[in-house]
Amino acid sequence: MPDFTDSLKPQYDGQAILEAERNRSPIQVHELSKHLLSRNNFLERQSKIVSILQNDPLFSKRNQLNMSRPDRFHVGLARNKKLRRLAKQYAWDLEDYKMAEYLTDEMSPYHLQHGMFATSVFQQSSDEQRAEWLPAVRDFKVLGCYAQTELGHGSNVRGVEATATYDLKAQQWVLHSPTLTASKWWNGALGRVATHAVVIAQLQIPKKEGTGYDSHGPHQFLCRIRDEKTHQPLDGIVIGDIGPKYGYASMDNGYMLFDNFRIPHSALLCRYSKVDPKTGAFQRQGHPAIVYGTLTATRGAIILNARLVLARAVTIAIRYTSIRRQFQDRDAETSSQEVAVLDYPTVQIRLLPLLATSLALHYTGEAVSDHFKKSAAKIENGDFSALAEMHALSSGLKSLCTQYAADGIETCRRSMGGHGFHGASGLVGINSDYLSKPTVEGDNWMITQQVASYLIKKMDEVVTNTAGKSKDTVVGQFQSFLTAKKPFYTLFQGSEINAKEILNAFEWRSAYLSHEAYQARIVQKKSWTSLLIQLHKLSRAYSEMVLVTNFFNAIQSSNLSIETAKVIEQCFYLYALYTIDNDPRSFSTTGAVADASMDALPDHILDIMSQIRPHAVKLVDAWAIPDYLLNSALGRYDGKVYEDLFHRAHHENPLNKTTFNPHWEDEEIVLGSGDGGKILSKL
């Protein structure tokens, strides 16, 4: 319906503002995009897929935030099906399909099919089992989920309560849930969709003599859980969706209980453990380290994803805060135009370091992925020597990078003031979905113990044998640490920043804290639990060092045009110096940075930010995040912020289609409907 609002224009023209921002920076956006996003033809793939999705009404994201959970699930499943059909129609490969998932930007039931489910079927199956299952998995004839976590146990996988007891006579496994806490829980796609599950249960075999069982720990079993025709749970199984969550509305995370449910002997995925069907003899075989290999690869992907998530939030915030104007400058002589809020240092200090962080994550994500690719062949051939360091390293990075991204989204959201709170900010869905990441694939606090434990072990080796040769980079760092005195690096000469000294300072701090932890644990024999916080800090320091190092290496070998390279170098400084400034004590007490440099930090940071500021919009443009994915009035490429906010409120908001009865004496809710009192029946 046309009305007087149609002719209204915003006070400031966002489109013109962004144009001006783009005109004042010499950065070659396309060049930088290619530099950042060439892996696996990301850019071409993205534009190919986005053009298909954004024109399909089923994939329109409007109004998604108004939907109830069951409706979101409903749409999510419909979209999943459509994606599969599109994949067939356009002959998408797996990367294309993943791109489509990334662009639709919701976690939905089929997500696990190619992920956790297929991976574990592949990794844990014998060759015969692979031949039997994998084609059906690939063709979505078998729809699966990965049922490991239970109501009572998640982190501690060894503690799962579900049992799989071998029945020698029947040559079957009996799956059973002895308690309520043994219920499977959180397993994606299980709630309403999966026909099959990989179930993790305690494998137990009746003792040869007497009663009782020999327990062999958690193992994976693959079995059908729902009827092929009716899609109802099979007899002896209870399944359901666990209910609404902070995010993941369209995913049916499920629960599942077994009442002495029987599955065949062949259900045990037996690449690494075998049970003789007749004798029940249990036997382990092969080296499951390959599993760590995949874990590491997954973590490379997690970092690359964290980078894009953070980049998305930063894109929205940078564009909006360059358009948003609030207050005249206090020191300005005459009453000039209002100031773009991105020109306030208290806004910059929240956003620009995050912009730099997204680049830091990029270079490390690339390095980890490359590294993994290189060693993948070795691993295939049974050489696992490089794996330990990578695995340890990747736990620390998973923790730090997902925390950067999760916290970064919220920081960006808050930096936008009131409008950041609105659904049209585009940060509501991403925020609540991404907040699962600090917990899943290893709780961010818990897994930092793995890095720390690795570093302590290495330090112990180096202390015992100072001159030993090793391929591990940390060994070299530890060796030079042990022979040196506190260096107190000087980071600045006047206005010059010394990148190499920054790098040295990070390496020194990491080695110093490793040594401190080694002292506490190995020399003073302190209990592990009493050290957890110290270990967490160590993991962080180490991971920050890795990020700084990879960033540093990348700018050394950069082939970007001079002007762009210069700005990326500024981002390196910003990331590194801001990181120091955030935990200044650990740089001064370890003797990593000289006091004078510490004192000069804040001024340098302000200065670098003011140098990056004119390029901010183009830097985020380079992340090439399509409007379809941003789904944000505030972060639109064309800057039409206010027009879009208003359009969404005025034309798309279902609440405005109803007139309500506001008077408290009347029980009626919808005016004229006579629905008084009926709302109770909806409860």
Ligand X SMILES: Cc1cc2nc3c(=O)[nH]c(=O)nc-3n(C[C@H](O)[C@H](O)[C@H](O)COP(=O)(O)OP(=O)(O)OC[C@H]3O[C@@H](n4cnc5c(N)ncnc54)[C@H](O)[C@@H]3O)c2cc1C
Catalytic residue numbers? 441
Task: From 17-25, 85-93, 338-346, 622-630, give the range in contact with ligand X by CB under 6 A.
Answer: 338-346
Measured from the CB of residue 300, what is the shortest distance to another protein in angstroms? 23
Contacts of 14 (CB under 8 A, 6+ apart): 323, 638, 639, 640, 641, 642
Task: Report the C-alpha gap between 143 and 113 in whole angstroms.
Answer: 7
Task: From 15-23, 166-174, 347-355, 377-385, give the range in contact with another protein by CB under 8 A.
Answer: 347-355
Q: Which two tokens stand for residue 379?
A: 């691993």
Q: Which of residues 133-152 bind ligand X (CB under 6 A)?
A: 146-149
Measured from the CB of residue 501, what is the shortest distance to another protein in angstroms? 20
Q: Which two tokens stand for residue 121?
A: 């079927």
Q: Which of residues 477-516 bind another protein (CB under 8 A)?
A: none
Q: Which does 188 bind (CB under 5 to 8 A by kind): ligand X, another protein, none?
A: ligand X
Task: Please say which residue, 346 or 559, places its beta carbon nearer to another protein.
Answer: 346
Q: Treating both helix axes as pointing N-terminal to C-terminal, what angle do 562-582 and 499-518 enclose, rounded to 10 degrees?
A: 30
Q: Which does 28 bind (CB under 5 to 8 A by kind): ligand X, another protein, none?
A: none
Decide: is 351 part of the binding site for another protein (CB under 8 A): no
CA atoms within 13 A on the CB side of 135: 4
- Number of other CB atoms surrounding residue 595 within 10 Å: 9
**Site track 166-205 with ligand X (rule: CB under 6 A), x = hit:** --------------------xxx-----------------
Q: Which of residues 74-103 bind another protein (CB under 8 A)?
A: 74, 77-78, 80-81, 84-85
473 annotated to bind ligand: no
| Cα distances (Å, whole numbers) of residue 352 to 293, 412, 578 | 35, 10, 10
Distant-in-sequence contacts of 578-581, Cβ < 8 A, 24+ apart: 578/353, 578/356, 578/605, 579/544, 579/548, 580/502, 580/505, 581/605
Q: Which of residues 42-71 bind another protein (CB under 8 A)?
A: 65-71
Eight-class DSSP state of 680: G
Strands 261-264 and 213-224: unpaired
* Residue from the set 166, 255, 272, 572 that interacts with another protein by CB under 8 A: 255
Q: Which of residues 183-212 bind another protein (CB under 8 A)?
A: 183, 185-186, 191-195
Task: From 50-58, 339-347, 488-496, 618-626, give the range in contact with another protein by CB under 8 A.
Answer: 339-347
* Residue from the set 43, 291, 349, 446 that interacts with ligand X by CB under 6 A: 446
Strands 163-167 and 196-206: parallel
Residue with tokens 């923790």: 399
Residue with tokens 């940075």: 593
Measured from the CB of residue 191, what is the shortest distance to another protein in angstroms? 7
Decide: is 654 part of the binding site for another protein (CB under 8 A): yes
At position 387, the amino acid (one-letter code) is L
Eight-class DSSP state of 514: H
Decide: is 418 part of the binding site for another protein (CB under 8 A): yes
CA atoms within 13 A on the CB side of 351: 31
Decide: is 440 part of the binding site for ligand X (CB under 6 A): yes
Contacts of 384 (CB under 8 A, 6+ apart): 287, 289, 292
Measured from the CB of residue 416, what is the shortest distance to ligand X in angstroms? 6
Q: Which of residues 537-566 bind another protein (CB under 8 A)?
A: none
Eight-class DSSP state of 256: E
* Residue from the set 421, 599, 606, 658 that interacts with ligand X by CB under 6 A: 421
Q: Which of residues 531-550 bind ligand X (CB under 6 A)?
A: 532
Contacts of 63 (CB under 8 A, 6+ apart): 652, 654
- Number of other CB atoms surrounding residue 626 within 10 Å: 16
Strands 144-147 and 196-206: parallel
Contacts of 190 (CB under 8 A, 6+ apart): 145, 147, 184, 197, 225, 239, 252, 253, 254, 255, 256
Q: Which of residues 198-257 bind ligand X (CB under 6 A)?
A: 248, 253
Q: Which of residues 573-632 bind another protein (CB under 8 A)?
A: 584-585, 588-589, 598-599, 602, 606
Task: From 46-54, 68-76, 441-449, 513-521, give the range in contact with ligand X by CB under 6 A.
Answer: 441-449
Measured from the CB of residue 532, what is the shortest distance to ligand X in angstroms? 6
Task: Report the C-alpha gap between 33 and 622 in whole angstroms.
Answer: 5
Decide: is 416 part of the binding site for ligand X (CB under 6 A): yes
Measured from the CB of residue 106, what is the shortest distance to ligand X in angstroms? 12
**Site track 520-539 with another protein (rule: CB under 8 A), x = hit:** -------xxxxxxx--x---
188 annotated to bind ligand: yes
* Residue from the set 71, 443, 599, 603 that interacts with ligand X by CB under 6 A: 443
Please say whether the beta carbons of 298 and 441 come within 8 A.
Answer: yes
* Residue from the set 207, 231, 287, 500 that interacts with another protein by CB under 8 A: 231
In the complex, the residues that contact ligand X under the rule CB under 6 A are: 112, 116, 146-149, 153-155, 186-188, 248, 253, 324, 326-327, 341, 344, 346-347, 415-419, 421, 436, 439-440, 443, 445-446, 532
Annotated binding site: 149, 188
* Residues tagged in the binding site annotation for FAD: 149, 188
